[in-house]
Structure 1
């Protein structure tokens, strides 16, 4: 079932439930939907906002995988230094000086290839830095 906000040619607004989007289209094409206020059969979908569940924050994990990913992110952000766009230079410097210091940041495909070709051990992270996420 799907609920649509509807309006007629005179601007009257009302809502109705339909079996599916196709069912709505078929009923409109047959002139079987009319305005609940004036009876006009010139009815179309009105702009609608999706229903959002406000019982839980959108940022809360909803599955075991999301919980584990959130824990990984927290661990990396608490134990490693964010170096942003300087990642390539910092990773290369740490590799050359044999310093064991965890860092994370951004690099493009060409920079990543260069680091891997030079034997610098790096791994992609399964999330964007908070500064890049909406």
Structure 2
């Protein structure tokens, strides 16, 4: 069984899409192993987005992810990383096809509702980052 990390970002929480998004994972026979609602502080945001630090939108991303509560989940299942990323869609909502979470509900480049780990290795690092205990 594979595990992955998913974050429902502040726009998903504000827009009351939590239940709708979670139901899509459950309908694909994926399991929510752990879930919590947190506010990501600046330090954690800087660590999580360190890989895009050189980009012009970096500070906007940090401000956005720290702007309100998020739902952080560990999701498991067969090929969980790929299955979740297929459900989520492309990073840019405007390029994401209908039927994906971002394609159906997104309308902004990085205010894109959801984060999903991009590999098994990233998932393990991100799970440790957000579920340290």
Q: Does TM, normalized by the shorter one, top 0.5?
A: no
Q: Tell me which of the two structures has the higher relative contact order, counting C-alpha pairs closer than 8 angstroms and 6 or more residues apart.
A: 2
Q: What TM-score does the superposition give when structure 1 sets the normalisation length?
A: 0.24
Q: What TM-score does the superposition give when structure 2 sets the normalisation length?
A: 0.24
- Looking at CA atoms only, which structure, 1 or 2, has the larger radius of gyration? 1
If each structure's helix is expressed as a fraction of its own residues, which one has the higher value? 2
